[in-house]
Chain A
């Protein structure tokens, strides 16, 4: 064997740098946005306000993290909003059996539905956008059926409402705690576990993944199940905070915010390149825009247009360099 030319092998990886490069554009945009608001928006630089922003972003953040895994495989999940509604409705009608049985039942149902769409996508090679669009439509209907035709179901259950309304040590709202925990887990899972590696491999080169012995179908089923689970958690936190289940409204159009957050964060829609941290930044950008426009009394309709412009601009900033 030729041992002659042995390249130096650097001990510490340069990868962390390269892997997150696409995130820098989004990070810069976030910092700029925060600074601008501190200067121009009265009461923005306030602990309560920050806490408020983080509580409000929680559902979008959780859904966007699930979306990041799905998009990493080259797929998309439009059904997340309807899954939030189903989780909300299932929990509301089963609260009589106790908060935790209700939570478990709700999360089990949406995880299974997610796995089912993953199964359709993987086994029958139906396009993800079609399967999850169908589920977006049907899921909303199912949620309304569960909740007696989409009526508002108010409830009073302190141990359920704890997950939306209470604070740990009196200062840290529970939703923020759950969100941070899940962000940490997601970063770990995507970077360090075999499942995370398989997700990226399937999105990066499906043929190569299959020939390397990876079960492509199982990986796809798992990402849609994960997306369903996270949508379920988002739906429950939202419901707990509201103190009522509103199956016809919860999670409406959240799939669009989640996709936007993921893309703005630097995850490639083609699959094979994904960053959870980027998605976190993306979700924060979206929320801060909304909040700051509210605080400055700018009409919601204008906010939508400007939000769109910012999405396009940030995505333009981090378009892949041609090579």
Chain B
């Protein structure tokens, strides 16, 4: 029988009413390296967790080596041979390599650990993978790449038939990535099936045989990577047809923004931060909406965080209103007149137990305070003004923000910055995950603010939004500025091409 190693069919997973996976299929052959790709919220990690027993599926079937299986815990999946390797987790820094590999199933002799056998077997596994690491060495003394290999070796010594590698290269150098590829190729030869998750296209094409694309919890396609053009892969991920990339009118930005004769407000030169940002240079003007495109992990958010002083940079120069900014913390950027609406509302935006009023005025507190006492009257003025101006739907300014819809939460967070009258506003995915009505209102507002002279940097994975809203677009790829599009060059097609080009 030519039954595949793993077959998942019509997988469905629901979290308290929200569908995370809907009718997803996934098939993995022996000796195949299969990549799983998709933007945020596509359902990659949910699918992995269903596969490895961390979540129980709500629907669908799963066959492992032809037999129906139902892993209820990661242990069950592991015993059957399905092992996930997350970065560094589950490893003990102060124990030896061999102990880490045999953790929880140490070979025993007369009730005691059989150290000799443990070291011997660990050594054999490492040699088979082509790794020259002494199994007696303490894990913490190895570099990150070696630890990553140990995590994989642990999976192999567990007898894994399927290894799931979740972003295995995110903390590796280029040389170390090469070592990882060698290990993967050896595993492939031994017939192990590998699920490989990465945002880096170069890696997918270098090491993977097939790719499965997910979007918004739905199965989109499975394709062999050989012969699949990068542009087509990006189109699949973003849900675009190549032919209708020219479509217009889907957003509230109206017609294409004419590039205003913008006076430069912000200038960035050679911004560098580890492997995440490499010599990024760009400029943005007053009254201009500068769009920024890029796939997940392309460095788009890293640019925003660097300009806002949230991450320290290794090198580079940021000039704002003609003066060089030395940013040690977000507070420095805020004082200069920069505002940042971050991508992750829940983790970096709202204070959930707090009211709309407290959340909205959080950044403006110093201006509302005299002798250390916050003026409730001034707070209420701001709340009233912005609830009306942005059409925030809440029972009152005293309602807890966690009770509001995503769109209304986003408006409150936008108001948190607008009430400070910033000169430059960085928006990271301003309309993600909010309903269509609020989306249009926010887009209209951004447009209006730019007309009033505010400089805007808008990061978005929605191409319509970028194409119709921006006067120029910078496309990020692997930490670099891949292209700058302006005027007639701006189209969904040109963005996707810039995202995909090698």
Contacts and interface: CB of A to CB of B under 8 A. Distances in A.
Bind each other:
yes
Interface of A: 1-10, 13-15, 18, 192-195, 197-198, 200-201, 204-205, 207-215, 268, 272-273, 323
6 contacts: A3-B389, A10-B395, A15-B355, A194-B373, A200-B358, A214-B331
A208 B349 contact: yes
Interface stretch (B17-25, B271-279, B283-291, B396-404): B396-404
A209 B331 CA distance: 10
A211 B396 contact: no
Contacts of A195: 372
Given A15-B355, A15-B398, A204-B354, A9 B383 contact: yes
A112 B348 CA distance: 32
A192 B374 contact: yes
Looking at chain B, what size class is its interface with the partner chain?
Answer: 35 or more
B374 A193 contact: yes
Nearest to A5: B391
B352 A1 contact: no
7 A-B pairs with the lowest CB-CB distances in the bound complex, closest first: A204-B351, A213-B334, A212-B363, A213-B331, A15-B398, A10-B396, A207-B348
Nearest to A189: B372
Interface in B352-389: 352-355, 357-358, 362-363, 365-366, 369, 372-374, 376, 383-384, 387-389
Interface SS, A side: loop
Interface stretch (B129-137, B140-148, B226-234, B441-449): B441-449
A212 to B, nearest CB: 4
Contacts of A209: 351, 362
A8 B353 CA distance: 22
B64 interface: no
Contacts of A15: 355, 357, 398
Contact of B330 (A4, A8, A198, A213): A213
A208 B362 contact: yes
A86 B441 CA distance: 60
Given A2-B441, A201-B351, A13 B398 contact: yes
B206 interface: no
A119 B402 CA distance: 32
A83 to B, nearest CB: 25
Contacts of B400: 18
B331 A2 contact: no
A15 B354 CA distance: 10
Given A2-B391, A204-B351, 13 more contacts: A5-B393, A10-B396, A13-B396, A18-B398, A193-B372, A194-B374, A201-B351, A201-B358, A210-B310, A211-B349, A213-B331, A213-B334, A268-B353
A7 B366 CA distance: 28
B363 A213 contact: yes
A194 B354 CA distance: 15
B392 A7 contact: yes
A5 B335 CA distance: 34
B219 interface: no
Contacts of B398: 10, 13-15, 18
Select the residue from B342, B349, B396 with max chain A CB neighbours within 10 A: B396
B396 A215 contact: no
A193 to B, nearest CB: 5
B308 interface: yes
Nearest to B384: A9
A273 B400 CA distance: 12
Contact of A210 (B330, B353, B366, B416): B330
Contacts of A211: 308, 310, 330, 340, 342, 348-349
Contact of B362 (A14, A193, A201, A268): A201
Interface of B: 308, 310, 329-331, 334-335, 340, 342, 347-355, 357-358, 362-363, 365-366, 369, 372-374, 376, 383-384, 387-398, 400, 402, 416, 441, 444-445, 448
A175 B261 CA distance: 70
A208 B342 CA distance: 9
Contacts of A213: 329-331, 334-335, 363, 366
B331 A7 contact: no
Contacts of B383: 9
Nearest to A212: B363
Contacts of A323: 402
A204 B352 contact: yes
Contact of A6 (B352, B354, B391): B391
B447 to A, nearest CB: 11
Contacts of B389: 1, 3
Contacts of A207: 347-348
B351 A205 contact: yes
Given A3-B391, A9-B397, A195-B372, A208 B444 contact: no
A14 B353 contact: no
Nearest to B371: A193
Nearest to B383: A9
Contacts of A6: 387-388, 391
A113 B331 CA distance: 27
A211 B331 CA distance: 8
Contacts of B329: 210, 213, 215
Contacts of A215: 329, 331
Residue from A2, A268, A272 with most neighbouring chain B CB atoms (10 Å): A2
Interface centre among A8, A9, A193 (most CB of B within 10 A): A9
A212 B397 contact: no
B396 A212 contact: no
A103 B355 CA distance: 41
Given A13-B396, A204-B351, A205-B351, A3 B362 contact: no
B348 A208 contact: yes
B354 to A, nearest CB: 6
Nearest to A202: B351
Q: Which of B390, B398, B448 has the most CB of A within 10 A?
A: B398
Contacts of A273: 353
Nearest to B417: A212
Given A194-B372, A208-B350, A7 B310 contact: no
B116 to A, nearest CB: 38
Contacts of A214: 331, 362
A235 to B, nearest CB: 27
A7 B353 contact: no
Contacts of A1: 389-391, 444-445, 448
Contacts of B349: 205, 208, 211
A200 B354 contact: yes
A2 B397 CA distance: 19
Contacts of B391: 1-6
B370 to A, nearest CB: 10
Contacts of B369: 193-194
A194 B416 contact: no
Contacts of A212: 330, 334, 362-363, 416
A14 B396 contact: yes
B455 to A, nearest CB: 19
A4 B363 CA distance: 28
A323 B395 CA distance: 18
